[in-house]
């Protein structure tokens, strides 16, 4: 084998189709329920929040959905993204494993989130939407949608989780640079935000709360605004499948095939993006790649949550879905991986995990930053704290291969860079970072508030 480091595709190799797991998933999808009636939602309900093209994608069972030309044109600014072999990291670990990573931080906003942001802004513009609302945790999603909305001339309101708003002022400024308006959530702009502030003016916010505010702002706008979600839903995961489709071609260029594919999970979109095309190969072409999702011990929805119907947001305005959940009013500790603090997880991923097609592990914050630093010092890229969870697991796989004397081919998704996360790195380097364990009692309490769903068999 050559000692090639970067495996690059040309603009002509940019995939023309997204991959829809619904066509091949061995587990049938569960219904999405109305938060008030608890009956399956109708397109009418969803159309308050989403344009029709997105709703149709959400329920589609077509295997491949064509990527519109306008979206591909914007993808060409940064796609295909590079795939690299982490040769220096391999050397530092003295491992026989081969470690590859797909670098989604190469997008202008610094993460994979632009892949779905461009598509969602496009379909909203096409459907006549006049403005969009959204939430953001770490600010990666908000930045991506801000740039996408700028390209399609759509005003954007971003509800940013307050703790991240304070930790990451530069992400806010980036969103404003692209033309978005950004508010620290809970805000006094919505009924829900005002009610929370009345109870506790120092409420640090959560993704569940920010989603509720963004949904309320759209739902009460008399049709003027629609809402856009950066993860969890099927159409978002599908837009991210371009990561795995490109990776398949690039692993071919490297003349190898991964034994294990790894990435971090917040709502599940970047993991599904890289993993589902490999899952298709497992299901249809006899491959046996392990697919490993990595979450923080502070918000361990897959490894410690319950697989049941729950609200997607804290104020119970968003649809109810069946997922691994820590309870919709779970407010996680203020760990630096803001994008991994969601109480639930993408329903398709949960069902596949439950059926044994996907593995999951939870890792604590300090050892995650240790891995991030080792990666930065070997490969040069400073990873986003979210992505570093995947790196932790990739390094652990490489060390396990070393202990067992095995050659193992590891592929992980480096979902974003951490150039805006220096406060988190400073905190780690100065020894101030703390580990947070799953607060068992708080979650037990949250789980007593699950919706009582009685579906006819
Ligand atoms: C860089 C990065 N990676 C991963 C995530 C987690 O989201 P998801 O699981 O949808 O990929 C986020 C969320 O904000 C992120 O910013």
Specify the residue with its C-alpha closest to ligand 1, atom 11: 270
| Cα–ligand 1 centroid distance for 438 (angstroms) | 20
- Total residues belonging to the chain: 457
DSSP string, 172-224: HHHHHHTT-EEEEES-SSSHHHHHHHHH-TT----HHHHHHHHHHHHHTTTTS
Specify the residue with its C-alpha closest to ligand 1, atom 16: 140
The per-residue pLDDT for 446 is: 83
| pLDDT tens track for 218-270 | 999 999 999 999 999 999 999 999 999 999 999 999 999 999 999 999 999 99
Specify the residue with its C-alpha closest to ligand 1, atom 1: 416
Higher confidence at residue 152 or residue 334? 152
| Least-confidence region, from 43-52, 225-234, 337-346 | 337-346
| Cα–ligand 1 centroid distance for 338 (angstroms) | 9
- The number of the ligand 1 atom at minimal distance from the alpha carbon of 236 is 10
The per-residue pLDDT for 327 is: 92
Q: Name the DSSP letter for residue 260.
A: E
Q: Is the dihedral of CA 77, 183, 231, 42 positive or negative?
A: negative
Given a cut of 80, is residue 439 above it in pLDDT? no
Angstrom CA distances, 443 to 67, 299, 306, 446, stand at: 40, 10, 10, 5
Q: Is the dihedral of CA 343, 346, 350, 356 positive or negative?
A: negative
Q: What's the mean pLDDT when you consider all of the chain?
A: 95
Best residue among 109, 110, 112, 232 to mutate for probing ligand 1, ranked by most atoms within 8 Å of CB = 112
The per-residue pLDDT for 456 is: 60
Nearest to 393 by CA among 243, 236, 275, 306: 275
The per-residue pLDDT for 1 is: 47
- Please give the share of the chain, as a percent, with pLDDT higher than 90: 85
- ∠ CA 447-452-453, nearest 5°, is 120
| Cα–ligand 1 centroid distance for 272 (angstroms) | 11
Specify the residue with its C-alpha closest to ligand 1, atom 10: 269
- The number of the ligand 1 atom at minimal distance from the alpha carbon of 231 is 10
The per-residue pLDDT for 55 is: 96
| pLDDT tens track for 165-202 | 998 899 999 999 999 999 999 999 999 999 999 999 99
Q: Which residues line ligand 1 (CB under 6 A)?
A: 111, 137-138, 140-141, 231, 264-271, 339-340, 384, 386-387, 415-416
Q: What is the mean pLDDT of residues 435-453?
A: 85
CB count within 10 Å of CB 396 equals 18
Angstrom CA distances, 367 to 4, 370, 373, 434, 440, stand at: 30, 5, 10, 10, 21
Best residue among 238, 415, 418, 420 to mutate for probing ligand 1, ranked by most atoms within 8 Å of CB = 415
Best residue among 106, 107, 113 to mutate for probing ligand 1, ranked by most atoms within 8 Å of CB = 113
- The number of the ligand 1 atom at minimal distance from the alpha carbon of 140 is 16
| Cα–ligand 1 centroid distance for 294 (angstroms) | 11
Given a cut of 70, is residue 217 above it in pLDDT? yes
Given a cut of 90, is residue 454 above it in pLDDT? no
- Calpha distance 342→326 (Å, rounded): 9
Angstrom CA distances, 99 to 64, 65, 148, 236, stand at: 29, 31, 32, 27
Given a cut of 50, is residue 92 above it in pLDDT? yes
The per-residue pLDDT for 2 is: 58
The per-residue pLDDT for 443 is: 78
Nearest to 63 by CA among 283, 391, 230: 283
The per-residue pLDDT for 318 is: 87
Contacts of 424 (CB under 8 A, 6+ apart): 167, 336, 369, 385, 418, 433
Q: What is the mean pLDDT of residues 130-144?
A: 95
Given a cut of 70, is residue 307 above it in pLDDT? yes
To the nearest 10°, report the CA torsion of 31, 32, 38, 40: -60
DSSP string, 299-324: S-HHHHSEEEEEESSTTS-SPEEEEE
Q: Is the dihedral of CA 217, 140, 112, 262 positive or negative?
A: negative
Given a cut of 60, is residue 395 above it in pLDDT? yes
**Which pTM value belongs to this model?**
0.96
- The region, left, alpha or beta by phi > 0 then psi within -120 to 50, assigned to residue 64 is beta
| Cα–ligand 1 centroid distance for 428 (angstroms) | 20
Specify the residue with its C-alpha closest to ligand 1, atom 4: 386
Specify the residue with its C-alpha closest to ligand 1, atom 7: 266
CB count within 10 Å of CB 87 equals 15
Specify the residue with its C-alpha closest to ligand 1, atom 15: 339
Half-sphere exposure in the Cβ direction for 337 (13 Å, CA):
34
Q: What is the mean pLDDT of residues 414-423?
A: 95
Given a cut of 90, is residue 403 above it in pLDDT? yes
Specify the residue with its C-alpha closest to ligand 1, atom 13: 339
The per-residue pLDDT for 455 is: 73
């Amino acid at each position: 084998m050559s000692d090639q480091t970067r495996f690059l595709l040309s603009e002509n190799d940019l995939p023309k189709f997204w991959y829809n797991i619904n066509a091949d998933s061995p587990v049938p999808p569960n219904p999405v329920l109305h938060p008030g009636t608890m009956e399956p939602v109708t397109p009418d309900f969803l159309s308050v929040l989403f344009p029709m093209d997105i709703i149709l994608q959400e329920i589609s069972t077509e295997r491949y959905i064509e990527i519109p030309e306008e979206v591909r044109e914007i993808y060409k600014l940064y796609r295909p993204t590079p795939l690299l072999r982490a040769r220096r990291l391999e050397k530092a670990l003295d491992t026989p494993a081969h470690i590859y990573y797909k670098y989604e931080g190469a997008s202008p906003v610094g993460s994979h989130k632009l892949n779905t942001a461009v598509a969602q802004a496009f379909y909203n513009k096409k459907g006549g939407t006049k403005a969009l609302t959204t939430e953001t945790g770490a600010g990666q999603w908000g930045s991506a949608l801000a740039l996408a909305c700028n390209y399609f001339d759509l005003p954007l309101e971003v509800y940013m989780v307050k703790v991240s708003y304070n930790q990451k002022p530069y992400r806010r400024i980036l969103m404003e640079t692209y033309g978005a308006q950004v508010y620290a959530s809970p805000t006094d702009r919505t009924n829900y935000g005002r009610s929370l502030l009345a109870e506790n003016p120092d409420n640090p916010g959560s993704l569940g709360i920010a989603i509720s505010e963004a949904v309320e702002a759209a739902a009460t706008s008399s049709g003027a605004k629609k809402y856009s979600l950066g993860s969890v839903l099927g159409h978002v995961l599908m837009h991210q499948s371009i990561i795995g489709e490109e990776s398949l071609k690039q692993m071919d260029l490297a003349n190898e095939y991964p034994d294990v594919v790894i990435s971090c999970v917040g709502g599940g979109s970047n993991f599904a993006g890289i993993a589902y095309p490999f899952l298709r190969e497992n299901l249809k072409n006899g491959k046996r790649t392990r697919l490993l999702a990595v979450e923080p011990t502070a918000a361990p929805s897959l490894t410690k949550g319950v697989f049941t119907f729950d609200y997607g947001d804290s104020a119970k305005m968003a649809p109810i879905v069946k997922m691994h959940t820590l309870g919709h009013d779970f407010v996680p500790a203020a760990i630096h991986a803001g994008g991994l603090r969601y109480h639930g997880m993408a329903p398709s991923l949960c069902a596949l995990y439950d059926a044994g097609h996907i593995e999951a592990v939870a890792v604590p914050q300090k050892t995650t930053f240790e891995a991030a630093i080792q990666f930065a010092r070997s490969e040069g890229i400073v990873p986003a704290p979210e992505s570093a969870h995947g790196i932790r697991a990739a390094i652990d796989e490489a060390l396990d291969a070393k202990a067992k004397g095995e050659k193992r081919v590891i592929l992980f998704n480096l979902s974003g860079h951490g150039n805006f996360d220096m406060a988190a790195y400073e905190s780690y380097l100065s020894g101030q970072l703390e580990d947070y364990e799953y607060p068992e009692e708080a979650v037990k309490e949250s789980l007593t508030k699950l919706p009582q769903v009685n579906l006819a068999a």
